[in-house]
Structure 1
């Protein structure tokens, strides 16, 4: 992020009613316009956290993020550039029923409409462009998706400063802070399953997430660095199980193992391998890549990959 630009995030909230796709638009009170839900990043927030929070604040609907559907850029009256990141977000029936939205000083009304109508209804060309991006995925047969998140453990004590077994190497103070900071971003993508290398630095990285979600950490040596170095790792088995499950999951592992995990994700989904896999696996400690797969046909290939930088 730059100091001069204003960053914001939001999404295309969608549902299927009687077999028909509908998207949610908001009528803003002060501006008398029709737009997509979005809002500015709060201090300390990641864009993913902002998107989920803003969609909830403006609509009352709690969502998890799906595929990224574009970035809009435009100049505000102050001449500063505003950069808005958008994701697809499915509104479940339970989430809609739980919404406590009432018209307020900011939002006059919410409206579910057909996408084609929304293209002519939205007030701003940048919103139309985002919705068109979303609809291209729909036209390709991709609507409902689930993420497999590949996470490199946060900052650990260096090997040169550690006398014990490598698998017992702990996190540094910075690594502990990073582990707490990634809870929000990982929650934004709806993580429900936590799989970790059995190394202490990996388990400790996902411990705050597990505590927040009330989930157990599934520890496995199959994606550990020790097993990888010994030639006994089995990333294929771990990845295959996660793809078949169709549930949002995070795999916490080590720098040298990540390329293999991404490669196995490509193989398991029938995706052509390319340089993008290298970029998605070249993660710094505490960074993660979100691999989006089709929930209805995971074998149709990786839909999208997005990489999130580590927290300070």
Structure 2
């Protein structure tokens, strides 16, 4: 049995003169036109790969938006290649900071309308991914942000801790989980980090805050203690984050996560359903990314993706 080759990339897009254009790359080695993508390096998550490969191929630093699906196709070696894609809005600052110069791998970058891109792309799987992106545009969805529900890392069992529950620390594995999730979370351009006041949550979110240069905001409103006392106010925390329109991490507890997902659905006019329960049913250190429209958050949840720690 042959092992599949995993890769990741994105439909990079921006507005030029008020119209959406997407980025295609002219590859030197293969003499073709494709979407930016590349193979996973050992130890990388797929989102981490997508951001790194886009930077290496195009010189553009991007954050990922909505997932666009997966393409599968056979390689000449007989192995299957599986490529995960996201949308990625490219800022003016990223354009100005681009370090791209033509090289042995990529001869040129070109910004074209989605219609032109469809005719330029050399491979059918790329065209299918582009079609998923244009379907979102047809639904009025372009710029997006996310609320990320993160469960704290593995903590010392309550039975092994004599102090207050809120002071229970992470285990060595929990500390590793907290560090391992940082690159994946950073791939989505986190702008705010909000944590339960419990030590196990604060310690889980701290490495991301340090790596991103962001303040770590603590609140008892999404803590397990407040939840058990009936004093939590998840709606207030979620509502503020939805109104802000900026990608945020909410680090909380297993019993509180279902309420966080329900409140996101309520705040965005989304239908309830088992998909919310599935997104909230996370192992320690895992997180669900809830993608929302930045221009019209009340239009509902666009998609949810879940990632687990590599530790």
| TM class by smaller structure | over 0.9
Equivalent-residue separation in structure 2 for 1:249 and 1:74 (angstroms): 35
Q: Does the Cα contact within 8 Å between 1:154 and 1:175 map onto a contact in 2?
A: yes
Equivalent-residue separation in structure 2 for 1:213 and 1:119 (angstroms): 36
Equivalent-residue separation in structure 2 for 1:103 and 1:180 (angstroms): 35
Please give the residue correspondences for 1:4-153 in structure 2 after superposition, counting only pairs within 5 Å: 4-153=3-152
User: Residue deviations 1:10-69, cap 9 Å, x none?
Assistant: 000000111111000000001000000000111111001000000111000100000001
Equivalent-residue separation in structure 1 for 2:309 and 2:214 (angstroms): 23
Secondary structure of the structure 2 residue equivalent to 1:13: strand
Deviation at 1:237, TM superposition (A): 0.3
Secondary structure of the structure 2 residue equivalent to 1:48: helix
TM-score (normalised: structure 1): 0.98
| Counterpart check, 1:214 vs 2:217 | no
In the alignment, what sits opposite 1:191?
Answer: 190
In the alignment, what sits opposite 2:263?
Answer: 264
Secondary structure of the structure 2 residue equivalent to 1:104: coil
In the alignment, what sits opposite 2:246?
Answer: 247
Equivalent-residue separation in structure 1 for 2:2 and 2:199 (angstroms): 37
User: Residue deviations 1:177-217, cap 9 Å, x none?
Assistant: 11111110110000010000000000000111111112111
Equivalent-residue separation in structure 1 for 2:119 and 2:27 (angstroms): 17
Q: Does the Cα contact within 8 Å between 1:202 and 1:253 map onto a contact in 2?
A: yes
Equivalent-residue separation in structure 2 for 1:155 and 1:77 (angstroms): 43
Equivalent-residue separation in structure 2 for 1:242 and 1:56 (angstroms): 29
- Single out whichever of 159-168 and 192-201 deviates more from structure 2: 159-168
Please give the residue correspondences for 1:219-298 in structure 2 after superposition, counting only pairs within 5 Å: 219-298=218-297
Secondary structure of the structure 2 residue equivalent to 1:164: coil
In the alignment, what sits opposite 1:168?
Answer: 167
Equivalent-residue separation in structure 2 for 1:75 and 1:172 (angstroms): 43
Equivalent-residue separation in structure 1 for 2:78 and 2:173 (angstroms): 37
Q: Does the Cα contact within 8 Å between 1:11 and 1:88 map onto a contact in 2?
A: yes
Deviation at 1:3, TM superposition (A): 7.9
Equivalent-residue separation in structure 2 for 1:244 and 1:80 (angstroms): 46
Q: Does the Cα contact within 8 Å between 1:284 and 1:310 map onto a contact in 2?
A: no
Deviation at 1:307, TM superposition (A): 0.7
Equivalent-residue separation in structure 2 for 1:96 and 1:56 (angstroms): 11
Structure 2 residues not aligned, in runs of 5+? none
Runs of 4+ in 1 over 4 A off after TM superposition: none
Q: Indicate the RMSD between aligned Cα atoms, in angstroms.
A: 1.0
Equivalent-residue separation in structure 2 for 1:192 and 1:113 (angstroms): 29
Equivalent-residue separation in structure 1 for 2:47 and 2:255 (angstroms): 27
The count of aligned residue pairs is: 311
